[in-house]
Amino acid sequence: MRIWMTGGTGFVGSNIVHQAVGAGHEVLTTYNSYRPSGSEPYRLERIDMTDPGAVRRSVRAFLPNLVIHCAILNDLGGLYRDRAAAWKAYVEATRSTSRAAHDMGAAYVLVSTDWVFDGTQAGADESTPPNPVNLYGVLKLASEMVALDRGGAVARVSGVNGLHRARPASPRAQDPGYGYFVASIVDSLSRDRPFTVWESDRINMVATPSLASESADLIMDIGARGLEGVFHCCGADAIGRMDLAHLTCEVFGLDPDLLRSGPPDLTGISRIPIPYDTTITCPRTSELLDRTPSPVRALLARFLREFSSWS
């Protein structure tokens, strides 16, 4: 397969590139400010996803069977500071990438998020109507509508953990969501540094974590089969932050006595609503892909294997 994608130098996208190249596919990913050094086994093109002409030309030249849109303007506070730029980076970039895919007859997958739900819709499945509470969720939902209207697939990932395949050594920090949570705990505790697990009703306290490599497998499968509609690429278990921290200690063999509990650092985003419980389920995804979601312990064990083989 020939896969044209955005965001292949980011966290989730680098896992998609890794799986796709490993499976023998030809990949072209766009990049923005960061370009991996060395000779990568895939093509890199510097393209601003908000430039529809550049997107169209690149897709036409590459002749993909599959387009995956995974890039994101990852700045929750910044979305509010420049709403026009945010709309362009989310909704218009989805419009131009999905149009380019459609014009080439390629399958299309938009990577989306569990934050389209409002934090009180625990257990939401692929058919649950979303109700975003912040601008990030609104922009993702508007992007989803664009992708779906053009016959594409929406792959919602949730609380993604795992290795950043393009920038594995870059430091990770806890944030109000679940992304990078496990890596930031492993990073601190493996250096015998205490780690404060944030506890607050103003942040995402319960979620259904996923592992980037497993989400990448699912996204590739959705794209390869040319499926349409909404998919939930998540693990099997809902879990709270402190329970996930303890399970991480168990699986990675780290000292749980180094875990603390404390308030979050919400500098710059203190007035932005954040969904509390974003647990999701995946009945449609499991049925159409013929897969059973992995328990969170199994996801952590796979992360440990990936981490050990990299470090």
Ligand X SMILES: NC(=O)c1ccc[n+]([C@@H]2O[C@H](COP(=O)([O-])OP(=O)(O)OC[C@H]3O[C@@H](n4cnc5c(N)ncnc54)[C@H](OP(=O)(O)O)[C@@H]3O)[C@@H](O)[C@H]2O)c1
- Stretch binding ligand X (CB under 6 A), from 11-19, 97-105, 237-245, 299-307: 11-19
241 membership: H or E segment, kind and range: helix 241-252
Asked if 160 interacts with ligand X (CB under 6 A), we say: yes
Query: Shortest gap between Cβ of 311 and ligand X (angstroms)?
Result: 20
d(Cα 45, Cα 76) in Å, to the nearest integer?
Answer: 26
For ligand X, give the closer residue by CB, 258 or 306.
Answer: 306
Minimal CA–CA distance to 21: which of 36, 35, 8? 8
d(Cα 246, Cα 145) in Å, to the nearest integer?
Answer: 38
Number of helices and strands in the chain (H, E): 11, 13
Report the phi/psi class of residue 304: left, alpha or beta, with left for phi > 0 and alpha for psi in -120 to 50.
alpha
Place of tokens 């890199």: 44
Asked if 157 interacts with ligand X (CB under 6 A), we say: yes
DSSP 128: S
d(Cα 243, Cα 235) in Å, to the nearest integer?
Answer: 15
* Given 4, 31, 303, 307, the residue binding ligand X (CB under 6 A): 31
Query: What is the footprint of ligand X within residues 61-120 (CB under 6 A)?
Result: 70-74, 89, 111, 113
CB closest to ligand X, residue no: 10
Total residues contacting ligand X (rule CB under 6 A)?
A: 29
- Stretch binding ligand X (CB under 6 A), from 152-160, 197-205, 226-234, 273-281: 152-160
* Given 64, 132, 179, 235, the residue binding ligand X (CB under 6 A): 179
Query: Shortest gap between Cβ of 65 and ligand X (angstroms)?
Result: 21
- Residues near ligand X (CB under 6 A): 6-7, 9-13, 30-34, 48-50, 70-74, 89, 111, 113, 157-160, 177, 179
